[in-house]
Structure 1
Amino acid sequence: MATILPELVSYLEGLPEPHILFDRQYRILAANAAYRRQFSPTASVIGRTCYEVSHHISVPCDQAGESCPLARSRESGQRERVLHLHHTPQGESYINIELAPLRDASGEQAYYIEKMEPLRVAQGQPATQGLIGRSAAFQRMLELVSRVGPSQASVLLLGESGTGKELVAQAVHEASARAAHALVVVDCASLPETLFESELFGHERGAFTGASTSKPGLVEAASGGTLFLDEVGDIPLPMQVKLLRLLESGTYRRVGSTELRRTDVRVVAATHRDLKAMVADGRFREDLYYRLSTFPIALPPLRDRVDDIPLLAVALLARVVPQRRMAVAPAALACLQRHTFPGNVRELRNVLERAALLADGTHIEPLHVERALGSDALPAASVAVTALTPEDAPMPSSDASLRSVERAALQAQLKAHRGSRAELARKLGISERSLYRKLRELGRPS
């Protein structure tokens, strides 16, 4: 094994973040104190390969379907950064890896230094909170979150209803330097146009009927932190220009005031709408769209994350029935993995909660899953209400007849349903917000 300069080892030892040094054969030559404390408190890693220690595999990452930073550095000749799922004493965890090549006297890459930083906002194993997954689609999304999180860039989250946009917004916030400050959620879909401005920017006393006192807005509450604009496609056009001014200059005015106020917020927006189509139709400002979408992240639907369903099932059961230690039988998991889940993770949670209520023992069996899914077995047109309406997916105008069928199906569900709006939303596998939007389109009271 190569002899390493003691000055280099001493330098690594003093770094606060976990670092290792390894050679071109992937053999670890040095590991600093921070690495030993966090990743290998009981056993030495010196002389072992990085891929065996981190991944418990016998070949380099790029030969096992992973992105290998060493291979990428050899190709690019520079630093490389990747997100990997590593084995740790606490289980598998997502780790941000930054690799820097060290060159010898001839200019060839001789050694490599890796800095490792755990990504604490997601797990590759069941957890009681946060993002959970290990599928390729999930990891691609998570790598984007890890890259944009520490920056100040505006983020636009794009995805179907139920894919976890608020959880991803939370992850972006927690990965930033603003994590110690507030993450303030603005539910753009539920705010009436007449109240939108005062809720967002605040108002002065006497600004309108009923404004008996001055009130700060959500923008002010988020100062120093992150402002999450959920369902940004529902922002009224008159408000869009004021939001654009906030994004571009960090300034705003309370309703009823001429005083220009300043705030320091990072904006994360989310929508399931096709904002580009809305821009083309004149329903969304083009300049605001480009300002919001500095860094877009597409959230994968659950049907593209089938391999994550077993992990999600364990975690979601712990959340919906914490008082019961329940497991899902392998055949029941296979049944769940065959379902398309138009309502995504939210629908999976509902199905698991129903299945748990149907099961008397500690295991959810295929029969329980089939019965739980059966309560969502709506007529084809009703399913289309969940998956294909204009709010949930872009639809060309030539499909007007299908849209009419979908609306008719929702009308039929409303007529037959005798419970609350929340129960109806769960039955359809959508959020209450999505249901309220559909009701408004139908001209029905919410």
Structure 2
Amino acid sequence: MTDDRFLRGYLDTLPEPHILCDAHYRIVHANPAYHARFGDGRALAGRTCYEVSHRYSAPCEACGESCPLREALARGRPHHVVHLHHGCGGKEYVDIELTPITDAQGRLECFIEKMNPLPAHAHTGAGLVGEAPAFTRMLDRLARVAPSDAAVLLLGESGTGKELTAQAIHAASPRAARPLVTVDCTGLPETLIESELFGHEKGAFTGAASRQVGLAEAADGGTLFLDEIGDLPLPMQAKLLRLIETGTYRRLGSTQWRRTDVRVVSATHRDLAAMVEAGAFRADLYHRLATFPLYLPALRERTGDIPLIARGLLERHAPSMKLDDGALALIAAQPFPGNIRELRNVLVRACLLADGHTLDAATVREALALGLAAAPTPASDARTLEHRLADTAHLGRKAQALALGISERTLYRLLRQGSARVHQDDTAKG
């Protein structure tokens, strides 16, 4: 290999982890940032990149993963790929940018790997968790779109982790230092959604006792996450389209146009394309939102990840509890049509049923059976939920949400809807 002293010195000045490797995958040099993030305390020079990064005994393509070097050589330019790496803090996903360096005859002399750790994708603890191919493909696309300002439409079944994915996109974007603001588009009357999104002036409607700043304004410079966008009423869709296209909006009750700078990430479990065909969703808004569609795989498409996800959920919600092998095997065999949300609920129930700090198969089986027994029939869903809301009203909001098997945000929305119905009834009686 040609003299690389200048190249080594240059890499040492860079804040991101970099390694320089020869044509046989052997590490020639690792900069200080790489040692700090991925070093294992041993010398790196002379060891292969695949052994240090993945603990493999052969190159990536021989172990079932794509090799960024092969892809870069085939394409004749730098190549990005997301891989799971071992580092000082355990395993984590990183976006690898590989640049081949060739001689005058086009023969490979060496290559540089730049590691871009993905902020919200820690493999343990908080963050997105998984190793299945469907999950890795999603993560690779996320890593490509996150640094841009493109609108992202998160698609997939309910409970697949859309809000967590939106947080990951925001955290890996240039807007990460600015707010991530969530707008829940489900079940609220049009006026209330408009007021929540754009704000309102004093006296704009009954009960508007003061001026209110909207979420679009609160998200200025950051990311606006529109959750369950498929539930947005048609009249509001036109106003949202203007916000996305021009960055302008008006507070409810105001004639003054205001401006905000937001990156839009939206999510839905609905088939928006079919809704466009049926006239239930604006085609122009759909195309604005779907600049980069990102599909989140259902749990049944990544069953091998269930033990990892279960452990991660327990680490966050009940760190003193552990799953034994029998419990893990039973959980991994479940279909979980409610996806990660249903898995979380099973684990919460199992923790409440357990005696001690170990969840065994018998406890998990009881938690699964309890969930099936409590599932209401479609005809009684609304009545059952109202009764369950009343039965749990004495609990704190977090405990109430856990008992109902819903998120705190959904709980607050249901309570708001209930208050609105009571107000409407009182008005009608008056």
- Partner AA of 2:311 in structure 1: V
Deviations 1:290-339 (A, max 9, x none): 100111111111122222222222222233324xx221111111111111
Alignment map for 1:308-347 (pairs within 5 Å)? 308-322=305-319, 325-347=320-342
Quote how far apart the aligned CAs of 1:350 are. Answer: 1.1
CA distance in 2, matches of 1:244, 1:221: 18
Corresponding position of 2:139: 142
Q: How many angstroms does 1:235 deviate by?
A: 0.8
Match of 2:159 in 1: 162
Report the 3-state secondary structure (helix = DSSP H, G, I; strand = E; otherwise coil) of the residue aligned with 2:202: coil
- In terms of mean alpha carbon deviation, does 169-178 or 310-319 score higher? 310-319
Q: Is the 8 A contact 2:36 2:88 kept in 1?
A: no
CA distance in 1, matches of 2:40, 2:363: 44
Match of 2:348 among 350, 353, 370: 353
Instruction: Report the Cα distance in structure 2 between the residues aligned to 1:415 and 1:208, rounded to whole angstroms.
Output: 28
Which residue of the partner structure matches residue 27 of structure 1?
26
Whichever residue aligns with residue 275 of structure 1, its letter is: L
- Aligned: 1:408 with 2:379: yes
Between 366-375 and 297-306, the greater mean CA deviation after superposition? 297-306
Listed as ranges, the gaps of 5+ residues in structure 2 are 423-430
Determine the C-alpha separation between the residues in 1 that align with 2:329 and 2:120: 28
Which residue number in structure 2 is paired with residue 111 of structure 1?
Answer: 110
Q: How does 1:231-246 map to 2 (within 5 A)?
A: 231-246=228-243
How far, CA to CA, are the matches of 1:341 and 1:435 in structure 2?
25
Cα 1:368–1:435, aligned 2, differ >3 Å: closer, same or farther? farther
Deviation at 1:191, TM superposition (A): 2.5
Residues 88 and 275 (structure 1), Cα distance of their counterparts in 2 relative to 1, 3 Å cut: same
**Between 287-296 and 409-418, the greater mean CA deviation after superposition:** 409-418
Please give the alpha-carbon distance, in whole angstroms, between the structure 1 residues aligned to 2:7 and 2:127. Answer: 38
Name the counterpart of 1:220.
Answer: 217
CA contact (8 A) 1:343 1:429 kept: no
- Percent identical: 55
- One-letter identity of the residue aligned with 1:288: L
RMSD, aligned α-carbons: 2.7
Indicate the larger mover: 252-261 or 283-292.
Answer: 252-261
Q: Which amino acid aligns with 2:53?
A: S
Aligned match of 1:91: 90
Q: Is the 8 A contact 1:246 1:252 kept in 2?
A: yes
Per-residue displacement from partner, 1:386-412 (whole Å, max 9, x unpaired)?
xxxxxxxxxxxxxxxxxxxx6336478
- 2:271 matches 1:274: yes
Deviation at 1:428? 8.4
Cα contact 1:425–1:435 (8 A) shared by 2: no
Aligned counterparts, 1:373-412, within 5 A = 373-378=368-373, 407-408=378-379, 410=381
Match of residue 207 from structure 1:
204
Instruction: Deviation per CA, 1:23-60: give whole Å up to 9, x if none.
Output: 22111112222222222262221111110111111111
Q: Residue 302 of structure 1 is aligned with which of 296, 299, 302?
A: 299
Cα distance change, pair 119–295 in 1 and its aligned pair in 2 (3 A):
same
Contact 2:392 2:403 in 1 (8 A): no
Amino acid at match of 1:360: D
Deviations along 1:222-271, one digit per CA (max 9) or x if unpaired, are: 00111110111111101111100110111111112221111000111011
Q: Distance in 2 between matches of 1:283 and 1:435?
A: 26
Shift in alpha-carbon separation, 1:143–1:434, aligned structure 2, 3 A: farther
1:71 maps onto 2:83 in alignment: no
Q: Flag the 1:361–1:211 CA change in 2: closer, same or farther, 3 A.
A: closer
Match of 2:428 in 1: none
Tell me which amino acid in the other structure corresponds to 1:66. E
Query: Bigger shift: 263-272 or 252-261?
Result: 252-261
Distance 1:230 1:329 in 2: 36
Query: Cα 1:279–1:369, aligned 2, differ >3 Å: closer, same or farther?
Result: same
Structure 1, 77-86 or 410-419: larger mean CA deviation: 410-419
Superposition deviation, residue 140 in structure 1: 1.5
Tell me which amino acid in the other structure corresponds to 2:355: D
Residue matched to 1:54? 53
Between the two proteins, the alignment pairs up a number of residues equal to 412
- Contact 1:347–1:426 (8 Å) recurs in 2: no
1:138 Cα shift?
Answer: 1.7
- Kept after mapping to 2: 8 A contact 1:162/1:431: no
Per-residue CA shift, 1:68-122, capped at 9, x if unaligned? 1011112111110001101112111111110111110212232111111111211
Q: Distance in 1 between matches of 2:210 and 2:232?
A: 26
- Between the aligned partners of 2:190 and 2:275, the Cα distance in structure 1 is 18
Following the alignment from structure 1 to structure 2, what is the Cα–Cα distance between the partners of residues 16 and 337? 41
Q: Structure 2: how far apart are the matches of 1:244 and 1:415?
A: 35
TM-score (norm 1): 0.86
Question: How many angstroms does 1:208 deviate by?
Answer: 2.3
**Residue type matched to 1:207 in 2?**
A
